[in-house]
Amino acid sequence: MADFMITDDFPKSEIEFDQRFSDPKACYDYLFNQKWPTGFVCKRCGHDRYWVSARNLYICTKCECHHSLIAGTIMDSSKKPITYWFKAMWWFTTRKSGVNAVNLKELLGFGSYGTAWTWLQKLRRCTIRDQREKLSGRVEVDEFFIGASRPGQRGRGAAGKTIVAVAVER
């Protein structure tokens, strides 16, 4: 997956975000500038001229190699509009309390909880650095259980609970 860096010109508020990324062209323009900051360059032949297809593929005028801005990203093969992805990424990265699948389903008007859940899993995977170092030095670890209270056994052996473990390096 390609690494994208957020630049200083990224919106500072949701109103600014909505004004800037309200249409697909603005989203594709942003991705274009992230992928080719100095202009288009064909990965096959190095040519700098292209045309854009109806499916937003950048096609080299010399060798006709197809370049997609979303191939190899979490948006690859998605049938949803790119503006939905941008909005989901905005909420995922800017909400202090985070966003869950139910919130995302309601915010984007999805008919399926499963779609919202899958999108969040993809977004969460993007936040993990490959080559990250193992925790060292003073490490604090804690665990807790998620799930509604139910009659029966309490604590570690309770049915219907999910354990969550957290570790942090001090």
pLDDT of residue 20: 95
pLDDT value at residue 132: 85
Retrieve residue 141's tokens.
Answer: 């670890």
What are the tens digits of pLDDT across the range 67-99? 999 999 999 999 999 999 999 999 998 888 889
Which residues are registered as beta bridge partners of 28? none
Query: Which pTM value belongs to this model?
Result: 0.75
Residue 72 and residue 122: Cα distance in Å, rounded?
Answer: 12
Assess contact for 26 and 20: CB atoms under 8 A: yes
As a whole number of angstroms, the distance between CA 81 and CA 10 comes to 20
Residue-level pLDDT at 1: 47
Domain range summary for the chain, segments of one domain joined by +: 14-126, 139-169
Asked if pLDDT for residue 160 goes beyond 90, the answer is no
Q: Which of 101, 141, 96 is nearest to 117 (CA)?
A: 101
Q: Which amino acid is at 102?
A: V
pLDDT at 151: 74
- Geometric angle at alpha carbon 92, from 113 and 111, rounded to 5°: 20
Q: What is the DSSP letter of 23?
A: S
Bigger pLDDT: 127 or 61?
61
